[in-house]
Amino acid sequence: MGGPGQMLDQFGAVGDHRGQAFDWQIASRLIVYLRPYLRELGAAFVLMLAATGFTLLIPYLLKVAIDQYIGGQNAPGLLRMVVFTGAAYLGLYLSSAGQTYILARVGQRVLGNLRAQLFRHLNRLSLSYHDTHIVGVTVSRVMNDVAVINELLSQGWITFIGDAFILIGIVVIMLSMDARLALLSFLVLPLMVLATYLFARRAQAAFRETRTSVARVVGNLAEDISGMRVIQAFAQEDATQERFREVNEANRDANINAMSLSFIYMPTIEFLSMLATAVVLWFGGQAVTGQEITLGVLVAFLSYVSRFFQPIQELSRLYTTMQSAMAGGEQVLKLLDTPLEVDDAPGAGDMPPIRGEIEFDRVSFRYRPETPEVLREVSFHILPGQRAALVGPTGAGKTTIANLVARFYEASAGAVRIDGVDVRSVKQQSLRRQVGIVPQDSFLFAGTIAENIRFGCPEATDARVEEAARMANAHEFITALPDGYATRVLENAANLSVGQRQLICIARAVLVNPRILILDEATANIDTVSEALIQQALGRLLEGRTAVIIAHRLSTIQNADVIFVVEGGRIVEQGSHEELLALGGVYRNLYEKQFKIETV
């Protein structure tokens, strides 16, 4: 199972970051995204300081209330302290709520910016990137990885600083109130650090496993759902379910494993916290009876000790967040760093209005450095307004030639020229706007039929959309649908036949009124009568345009001005239908075979 297995491995790599927990290089590049929000972050920081202050102040107020006012039997003073304590709680609530609100807003904006940037980059990356990357993994980058980065960027670091301040503050206050009792209650700290260390180390592996296994579940699910037709056709439901059961159970176990760690860690911390409280109560209580410290100090100590452990728990959680964020950040940055293989040359100008001359000058091409050459020194010349045809066996390189005309890929050697202009020297968009392509595999977006036809030309009027549909011979079937042009196209265009999809794609290409029109098997799935009608319509449409028609059905291209026979990545014959028949080579052979089959 080469394909899916490989895919799962790539999925597995989603959350893997085997480097250190904190990577400065990644962090410093991510921090840049916070720059536009420095003011908001500053405000959140101030609020965090305020919340820290209130947290530290409240136990101290208790001490004062007990020692000075309860002990001193001063009712008005006590009331004042009650009011102060209430105000401190209110301040704590307001400042942490404000901080949370600001950070959440900043976080959502950073998230939006980062996703937009990623999508922009994905839009510009050449098809060779998209050829080799699994959609599910890319989606996971843009959604999940970005979200964990954001968690660290917007919340994590400020929580970290706040927790650190609280810990330091508590230590300092306790030491200054009573150094001996403070040191006694810190006795549990080494145990605490040990427990946290052990937990964090295990948690790192456990959480990585949950991320990997959930990516496997998603990958499996996505592939099986889109392949459901094949699964059912081959009655492989059982095997498919078995495979899903495996990844699903692995994910379940990984989650249970990770959770059990927390279930062990949290009570351990609770226990240590209780131990510290017991220590304070025992020694502190004796100190109070021995009149070495006041009751207020004891109460304040108990209160501080109970507050001591929450930041520690939070820090350990933060550690796992940081791990995920570093892993996610690494992947996201890798995507952003992927160079555009096909890019506009510096200072490239716009392609001037095209007349329609296409020239391949000893063009060689391979899809990837490690794969063999698909085109070998292909040279041909199509004049403006000519109707050229590419024929040849499956895998010969016809679609590849079409891809290079629109510069979806970069020729490995040689040059592709349009009107004598090297396609590498102009802006890609200015070139592609003037080239209409009806691809071999027609793709329709979810939306209405009219929207799909209008795709390359959003401002086109309804009348023009209809005209284009008529040209493509699609008007009749569209108007026969209950909702006509407003009919919604389902995902994968499931509610349209393959031939109907092709007709809509032809209308879409026709609407932009391109100088060069490439039809890649555009009529392969259309019955011969409709095809003949399209041929007639195209006859009108192609006037004054250059057309490149790729077809297996040779009847389609008999009246082309020039036919190129492609075989094994080379042009082996060229000429008109009659010339090629007279030549008695590959073309004649193909023609006779098709003719025989069709007349049998």
Ligand X SMILES: Nc1ncnc2c1ncn2[C@@H]1O[C@H](COP(=O)(O)OP(=O)(O)OP(=O)(O)O)[C@@H](O)[C@H]1O
Chain residues that interact with ligand X, rule: CB under 6 A: 131, 367, 371, 374, 392, 394-400, 440
Buried b (16+ CB within 10 A) or exposed e, 427-440: ebebbbbbbbbbbb
Burial class (CB in 10 A: 0-12, 13-18, 19+), 333: middle
Chain residue at closest Cβ approach to Mg ion: 399
DSSP 8-state secondary structure symbol assigned to residue 345? P
Enter the tokens of residue 530. 């409709």
Contacts of 503 (CB under 8 A, 6+ apart): 469, 472, 473, 474, 477, 526, 530, 534
Cβ closest to ligand X, residue 186 vs residue 408: 408
Helix (H, G, I), strand (E, B) or coil at 177: helix
Cβ closest to ligand X, residue 131 vs residue 246: 131
Please choose which of ligand X, Mg ion, none residue 374 contacts, taking the beta carbon within 5 to 8 angstroms, the exact cut-off set by kind: ligand X
| Residues 526, 503: Cα–Cα separation, whole Å | 8
Please choose which of ligand X, Mg ion, none residue 131 contacts, taking the beta carbon within 5 to 8 angstroms, the exact cut-off set by kind: ligand X
Mode of pairing for the β-strands spanning 413-418 and 358-365: antiparallel
Closest contact distance (angstroms) between CB of 6 and ligand X is 15
Please choose which of Mg ion, ligand X, none residue 400 contacts, taking the beta carbon within 5 to 8 angstroms, the exact cut-off set by kind: ligand X
Enter the tokens of residue 15. 């959350």
Closest contact distance (angstroms) between CB of 538 and Mg ion is 19
Cβ closest to Mg ion, residue 203 vs residue 563: 563
| Residues 290, 15: Cα–Cα separation, whole Å | 58
Cβ closest to ligand X, residue 262 vs residue 440: 440
Contacts with Mg ion by CB under 5 A lie at: 399, 440
Closest contact distance (angstroms) between CB of 555 and ligand X is 16
Closest contact distance (angstroms) between CB of 553 and ligand X is 11
Q: To which residue do tokens 């008007």 refer?
A: 475
Contact 486, 450 (CB under 8 A): yes
Closest contact distance (angstroms) between CB of 550 and ligand X is 7
Please choose which of Mg ion, ligand X, none residue 508 contacts, taking the beta carbon within 5 to 8 angstroms, the exact cut-off set by kind: none
Please choose which of Mg ion, ligand X, none residue 141 contacts, taking the beta carbon within 5 to 8 angstroms, the exact cut-off set by kind: none
Helix (H, G, I), strand (E, B) or coil at 381: strand
Cβ closest to Mg ion, residue 262 vs residue 440: 440
Please choose which of Mg ion, ligand X, none residue 397 contacts, taking the beta carbon within 5 to 8 angstroms, the exact cut-off set by kind: ligand X
DSSP 8-state secondary structure symbol assigned to residue 569? T
Please choose which of Mg ion, ligand X, none residue 396 contacts, taking the beta carbon within 5 to 8 angstroms, the exact cut-off set by kind: ligand X
Cβ closest to ligand X, residue 60 vs residue 380: 380
Please choose which of Mg ion, ligand X, none residue 394 contacts, taking the beta carbon within 5 to 8 angstroms, the exact cut-off set by kind: ligand X
Closest contact distance (angstroms) between CB of 426 and ligand X is 24
In 3D space, the residue among 498, 540, 485 whose CA is nearest the CA of residue 517 turns out to be 540
Closest contact distance (angstroms) between CB of 23 and ligand X is 33
Please choose which of ligand X, Mg ion, none residue 219 contacts, taking the beta carbon within 5 to 8 angstroms, the exact cut-off set by kind: none
| Residues 176, 156: Cα–Cα separation, whole Å | 30
Burial class (CB in 10 A: 0-12, 13-18, 19+), 463: exposed
Cβ closest to ligand X, residue 399 vs residue 500: 399
Cβ closest to ligand X, residue 51 vs residue 506: 506
Cβ closest to Mg ion, residue 92 vs residue 390: 390
Contacts of 106 (CB under 8 A, 6+ apart): 34, 37, 40, 41, 44, 154
Closest contact distance (angstroms) between CB of 10 and ligand X is 16
Helix (H, G, I), strand (E, B) or coil at 392: coil
Contact 336, 125 (CB under 8 A): no
Burial class (CB in 10 A: 0-12, 13-18, 19+), 297: buried
Which run of H or of E encompasses 49?
A: helix 38-64
User: Amino acid letter at 532?
Assistant: A
Cβ closest to ligand X, residue 321 vs residue 403: 403
Closest contact distance (angstroms) between CB of 3 and ligand X is 14
Cβ closest to ligand X, residue 396 vs residue 505: 396
Please choose which of ligand X, Mg ion, none residue 240 contacts, taking the beta carbon within 5 to 8 angstroms, the exact cut-off set by kind: none
Q: To which residue do tokens 């592709």 refer?
A: 416
Closest contact distance (angstroms) between CB of 556 and ligand X is 13
Closest contact distance (angstroms) between CB of 551 and Mg ion is 10
Closest contact distance (angstroms) between CB of 520 and Mg ion is 6
Please choose which of ligand X, Mg ion, none residue 162 contacts, taking the beta carbon within 5 to 8 angstroms, the exact cut-off set by kind: none
Three-state SS across 245-265?
HHHHHHHHHHHHHHHHHHHHH
Contact 276, 185 (CB under 8 A): yes
Residue count of the chain: 600
Cβ closest to ligand X, residue 44 vs residue 566: 566
| Residues 448, 444: Cα–Cα separation, whole Å | 10
